[in-house]
Structure 1
C-alpha cells in the first residue's frame, strides 16, 4: 500500500472538516423581536371579509355620510362593502337581503326596515352563521344587535327648545311620517310634548318619504304658508327628519316668512350649512354624527365575527346643535366637535383587539 504524502493529507483533512461542518451544524437564526404581544396584534384574522349593507332608502347627505362611515370602518379592518338600497320598497329590501345571504357574505348590516319585511331573512342569515347588526330597524331577533339614535331624546331636545323660543304658546306645524321605527319613537315623545304644553297647538301635520322628500316637503310647506298667510299664524315647524327640515326651511325662506323657525332632527354637512346661514329659518337640530353611526355599526358586526358577546340593543347618544353654538365662518361636520361638545369621534364599540387589527 502506497503511503500518501504530507501535503496531500493536509488538504484532505481541510476538505473533510468543511464537509462535516456543513452537515452537522445549523445556520444561525434570524433575529426575532421580543415577544411582547405585538406579533399577535399585528395580524388581522378578520381581513378580507365581505360585508353587505342592506338599506331601506338611500336619500340625502345624511345617508351619504352614514355610508361613508360604514365603508371607512370596514376598509380599516381589511374588508369590502356592497351597498344595496331598496328605494323605500320593503319587498325589494327583503330580496336584497336574500341575495346577500345567497352570495355567502361574511356579515350583514341593515339600515331601517320592518320586522315583517326582514325577520325571515335575518333568521335565515343567522342559521347560516352570518352575523347581523341593524340600525334603526324594528327587529327583535335573538342574536341580532340593533342600534338606535336615542330618538326620544332627540325629539325632546328640539321640542323643548322650540317651546322655549316661542314662549310656551303658539301654532306649530309637525312634519312626520309613519312606518319607520325611529319615527314611531319620536312620535311618542311628540305626544308627551303636546300633553305638557297645551297652549302649543298643531295646526297642520304632513310628511312622506319619497325619492324627492325635501322637494316634496317644500311644495307642501308652501301650500300651508298660503293657508296661514299672516305673521303669527305659525310660530314654528318641528321636522322629525333632516330632509323634512330642508324642504320646510327653503319654503319659509323663499316666502319671506323667516319669523317661523324650524327645529329638525339629524345632521349632515348640508344641514349644518343651512343652520349656519343667518337668513335660514332652520335654527337647531338634534343628531348623532352619521359617520359615527356607520362606524359603530361596523364595529359591533366585527365583534360578532370575532366571537365577542354583543348587546341586543345599543343606544347612541345624540347632541343638540343650535346656531348660537356655531362660528360665523362655514364649517363641516368634521369640524363640529370643536364647537359642540360630544359630537363625533365616538369610541363606542371600539375594542382593543380591533384597534390593533386596524394598525395593519
Structure 2
C-alpha cells in the first residue's frame, strides 16, 4: 500500500497482491473508491492512469485498488464498503463473478459507477461503456466488404465478460446473411499481446487457409500480427482490432498491409465515470443511468484525426 500526497489531498493506492487495505477515512471525509483489474494490459494501465488524473482534476480524495482475479477484487470492494467510502467506481474483472458484490454495495447505500464491462444485474447507479456490439457489427461489415462476402475467419476473443459476448454477437449478426463467411476458429487471447501471439501461432499451424482475423482488442491484434509475420503467411488479407492503441493507429497510418482497421474504445471513458462519481457525491443525480460511447471505425481514411503519438494508450 502506498500513500501519496496530491496537492492538499491524500490518496491511498492498493496494488494487486499486496496485503494492506485502504486507510479508513474520517467520518466527515468524502472519499471515492476505485476498483480495477491489474494493469497487465496497456488499455487497463491507461484506464488507471486516466482515473487518477481525473480524480486529481476533480479535487477528490480517493482510494484505488487493483486485483488480478475476481476473488481479490471482491475482497477489495468489500473492504471499500467497510471503509464507508462515498462512492465506488468499478471495472469488473469478470461480469458474472463481480455481480454478487455489486448487490452488497447497493445494500450498503453506496453509489456504484460501473465502467466498461457490465454486470449481470442492475445493481448500479450508473454505467459508462463503449459500444461493444457496435465494434463487432462494424468489424463484420468491414470484413464482408474486404473479402467480398466470402472467407475463412479466425476470431480472437477476450476474457469472459459482457465485452467479449457483445463483440462476438455483433460480429456474427453482421455476417449472418453471408453463409460463405465462416468463423473457423474462436479462441481467447485474454486481451493480452503475448497470449494472443501464442494462440495465433497454434492456429496458424492447424489452419492451412485463413482469410482474415477479427480480434476483440488492439493488443491482441499486435500479437496476432507478430505471429502471422513470423510464420510468413501470405493467405491472410486483413486483421482488425478494437480499442484505439496508438501502435495500431501508427500501423494503419503507415499503410501496414494487414492491419487495416480498428474501432474506438477509449480508456478515457473512465474519466466520465469518475466525473459521475464526483457529481453524485456532490448531490447531483445522473441524467442517464447508462452512457454508451460510439464505436467509430478507424481506417487510413480518417486515421489522422485520431492518431496521437503521445497518448497514454
* Aligned positions of 1:314-353 closer than 5 A: 314-327=291-304, 331-332=308-309, 334=311
Q: Is the 8 A contact 1:112 1:181 kept in 2?
A: no
Which residue matches 1:188? 169
Q: Is the 8 A contact 1:150 1:317 kept in 2?
A: yes
Shift of 1:138: 1.4
What CA distance in whole angstroms lies between the structure 1 residues aligned with 2:144 and 2:48? 34
Shift of 1:144: 2.0
* Aligned positions of 1:247-326 closer than 5 A: 247-257=223-233, 259-279=236-256, 281-291=258-268, 293-310=269-286, 311-326=288-303
As a proportion of its length, which structure holds more helix? 1
Q: Is the 8 A contact 1:119 1:141 kept in 2?
A: no
User: For the aligned residues, what is the CA RMSD?
Assistant: 2.6
CA offsets 1:119-149 (integer angstroms, 9 cap, x no match): 4433333344422100122143345212221
Shift of 1:279: 3.7
What CA distance in whole angstroms lies between the structure 2 residues aligned with 1:115 and 1:226? 33
CA offsets 1:63-90 (integer angstroms, 9 cap, x no match): 1222222112111111144332221x11
What CA distance in whole angstroms lies between the structure 2 residues aligned with 1:257 and 1:199? 22
What is the aligned counterpart of 1:224 among 190, 203, 206? 203
Which residue matches 1:66? 47
What CA distance in whole angstroms lies between the structure 2 residues aligned with 1:282 and 1:166? 14
Which residue matches 1:244? 220
Q: Is the 8 A contact 1:155 1:186 kept in 2?
A: yes
Which residue matches 2:138? 157
Q: Does 1:205 align with 2:182?
A: no
Which residue matches 1:26? none
Ranges in structure 2 where 5+ consecutive residues have no aligned partner: 1-28
What CA distance in whole angstroms lies between the structure 1 residues aligned with 2:277 and 2:120? 16
Normalised to the residue count of structure 1, the TM-score between the two structures is 0.70
What CA distance in whole angstroms lies between the structure 2 residues aligned with 1:188 and 1:139? 17
Change (3 A) 1:191 1:159: closer
Question: SS at the partner of 1:148?
Answer: strand
Aligned residues: 281
Shift of 1:228: 3.5
Ranges in structure 1 where 5+ consecutive residues have no aligned partner: 1-47, 337-360
Normalised to the residue count of structure 2, the TM-score between the two structures is 0.80
Shift of 1:105: 2.3
What CA distance in whole angstroms lies between the structure 1 residues aligned with 2:273 and 2:308? 26
Change (3 A) 1:228 1:126: closer
As a proportion of its length, which structure holds more strand? 2
Q: Does 1:132 align with 2:130?
A: no
